[in-house]
């Protein structure tokens, strides 16, 4: 018989998958009402709407959970000219230490988070220090129009984002390129579990999780972070040792070698 901890790891992801199924169903119904059968030619848009509604609805819960982790202190360490990857509904906006922030460029390809972010930016009086860009980190032309070019960024912030990008290796190479020498890469991500049984559980859930939640559950993200370039302090990466978690975390503040 499986232990309670092991059983929780096996069933845990369902707590987010089921609400996601409901949101996808509602988004599909709305698209069919508006566009009829033509909605099936816009499946990515339906997915974007559903996942945005899911994470916007769950935003308070995610913030409360992250408050029990090192996420608040990691975000407060971001300084200077900041590039935030995938802000989603803007869960980190209230955590910035504005006294050390020059400007925050948030890159988010899903347009359905726009209103959530605008509300939180206004609430935290960051209108003059925050700009949302509808692009990804690989979109060098869109970033260059904002003055975000090679070696121009003091901090790149990534909180549970690399699990969702199409190509982690390419994204991290862009992150490294955009950072100034001595700049900081601040991250909190989830990765493949070292425990064999839990890793098998992750592999079982991952196809459904990827399709409905929008990210990969079992990537070796640390490998791609370290391979992006030369870091001064790779030994500072902290790996959560939780054999029962389908979403074990890694976190750290890495400095690009000067």
* pLDDT tens by residue, 104-134: 999 999 999 999 999 999 999 999 999 999 9
pLDDT, tens digit, 9 for 90 and up, residues 131-171: 999 999 999 999 999 999 999 999 999 999 999 999 999 99
pLDDT, tens digit, 9 for 90 and up, residues 12-45: 667 788 888 888 889 888 988 888 888 788 888 8
Domain chopping of the chain, boundaries: 59-256
CATH architecture of 59-256: 3-Layer(aba) Sandwich (3.40)
H or E stretch including 134? Answer: none
Confidence of residue 5 (pLDDT cuts 50, 70, 90): low
What DSSP line would sit under 145-167, residue for residue? TTT--TT-EEEEEEES-TTTSS-
Residue 229 is predicted with a pLDDT of 96
Exposure of 118 in the CB half-sphere (CA atoms within 13 A): 6
Rounded CA gap, 90 and 257, in Å? 30
80-85 vs 153-159, strand pairing mode: parallel
Max CA pair span of the chain? 58
Residue 81 is predicted with a pLDDT of 98
- Nearest partner of 238 among 78, 73, 101, judged by Cα: 73
For 217, the token pair is 């559950």
H or E stretch including 84? Answer: strand 80-85
Cβ pair 153, 123 in contact under 8 A: no
Average pLDDT over the chain reads 92
Rounded CA gap, 96 and 85, in Å? 14
Confidence of residue 241 (pLDDT cuts 50, 70, 90): confident
- Per the document, the length of the chain is 258
């Amino acid at each position: 018989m499986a232990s309670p901890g092991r059983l929780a790891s096996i069933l845990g992801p369902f707590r987010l998958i089921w609400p996601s199924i409901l949101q996808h169903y509602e988004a599909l119904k709305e698209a069919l009402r508006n566009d009829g059968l033509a909605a099936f030619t816009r499946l990515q848009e339906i997915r974007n709407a559903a996942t945005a509604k899911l994470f916007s609805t769950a935003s308070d819960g995610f913030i409360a959970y992250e408050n029990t982790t090192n996420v608040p202190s990691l975000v407060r360490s971001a300084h200077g000219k900041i590039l935030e990857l995938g802000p989603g509904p803007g869960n980190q906006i209230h955590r910035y230490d504005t006294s050390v922030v020059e400007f925050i460029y948030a890159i988010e390809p899903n347009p359905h988070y726009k209103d959530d972010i605008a509300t939180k930016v206004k609430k935290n009086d960051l209108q003059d220090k925050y700009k949302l860009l509808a692009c990804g980190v690989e979109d060098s032309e869109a970033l260059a129009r904002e003055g975000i070019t090679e070696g121009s960024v003091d901090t790149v912030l990534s909180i549970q984002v690399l699990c969702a990008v199409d190509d982690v290796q390419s994204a991290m190479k862009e992150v490294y390129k955009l950072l100034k020498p001595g700049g900081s890469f601040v991250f909190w991500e989830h990765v493949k579990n070292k425990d064999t049984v839990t890793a098998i559980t992750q592999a079982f859930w991952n196809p459904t999780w990827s399709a409905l939640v929008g990210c990969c559950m079992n990537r070796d993200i640390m490998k791609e972070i370290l391979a992006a370039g030369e870091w001064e302090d790779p030994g500072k990466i902290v790996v959560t040792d939780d054999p029962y978690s389908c979403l074990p975390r890694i976190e750290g503040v890495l400095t690009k070698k000067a």
